[in-house]
Every structure is written in C-alpha cells, then in structure tokens.
Chains A and B, each alone.
Chain A
C-alpha cells in the first residue's frame, strides 16, 4: 500500500493544454517535495513545500500544499514537450526519510 497516492498515473496531452497532477495521503507530512525524472536519469527536485496552504510557482508550474498538509497538487499551464517526464511527490515526517508516490507519467505531444 502506497502512503502517497498520485493521480492520474498516466497523462497524454497536446502542447498548450493545462493539466493538474494530484498527490494524496491520509497522513500529515512535515514537508512535501516534487521531483521530475526523465528517461535514463535520476529524479531532480522541482520544489519543497512546508507550510499548510503554501503555493509556490516555478515558471509555468504551480505547486500547492493542502491546508492540512495531507495532499498536494502540481498544475502546469500551457504544457510544452519539454515538460514530458515522470512526476513524483515525496513526503516526510521526520525531515530526513521521504516516502515517494507511484508517479505520474506525463507525455506532451507537439
């Protein structure tokens, strides 16, 4: 059983469309991180959120941490082929050990 459930598992969209990826849990996390992984490489950190209700923006990517610190979302505006990859959320209770979700595989078609 995954501690963090991500949805959708797969997403295939056209360039220019918007999308949202969800990361949900029944547990409260001290902080939550989002990573992107491209084929043949390890995951790379996109953002860390630590405060309930926090919203962070990274160019066309908007990350939100739920008020109760149990869930998070990643919204991409006007997706581009370069956004293609596996998006992973990871939460921690004790600041050093992270639990990863199963990932959302995004394909943006030109």
Chain B
C-alpha cells in the first residue's frame, strides 16, 4: 500500500514566521504535489514536482516555495507566514502514467493556523 506521510496533523505558527511542511512517500513515485483545501474552493494546486530538483508552479504559488532534494520527500515552505495562509494543506504523490490513469495518493493533511 502506498503511504504518504505528512509530518504534522496540526500546526500553529505566528505571522511572519518561516514555516516548513514536510511530506514523504514510500512508493518511488515520480510526481509529488502540494494542495491547499479551503471550504467551498476544493483543492487548489500550489506546486508540483515531476522529478528530483524539478518543480512547477500550480495555480496559487504566491507566498510559497518548495524543495525536492530526494525523490521521496517534498517540502512546502511558507517564506513569511500570513493569516490568509491558514488552511488545510494536502500532499499527494503519483506515478507518471499514460492518459492520467494514475491515481494521486494523498496524505491525511496538515491543518495550519497562522495567528
């Protein structure tokens, strides 16, 4: 079974802090994703990576950066946290496959509160 592990279930930080969210997958997947989930907005893609050290911006990258130094680990960084970044953050991974048949496997999420 694929396992995607996010380092924290709940996190409380202060405005202006630098925040690191960590995600590890154990199935040698090429693709990894960071989403944020807000009520009524579904999942919005922040960044994704299709290989080590490769990254692409998603739909809402402003205020975030990512790091993928090893295939199994994908980190999301909030450079200077702001209250509008309070949200549920979900990490996912998938194989690179033909015609989008490959499922995305999600972690259980990190609920981040910025005070």
Contact = CB atoms under 8 A, between A and B. Distances in A.
Interface of A: 2, 4, 6, 9, 30-31, 33, 40-45, 48, 50, 88, 90, 92, 95-103
Q: Does more than half of chain A's interface fall in helix, strand or loop, or is it mixed?
A: loop
Contacts of B45: 97-100
Interface of B: 4, 31, 35, 40-45, 48, 50, 56, 58-59, 90, 92, 94, 96-101, 103-109
A50 B101 contact: yes
21 contacts: A2-B41, A2-B42, A33-B103, A40-B108, A40-B109, A41-B109, A42-B106, A43-B90, A43-B104, A44-B106, A45-B104, A88-B42, A90-B104, A95-B96, A95-B98, A96-B50, A97-B48, A98-B100, A98-B104, A102-B41, A102-B42
Nearest to B58: A97
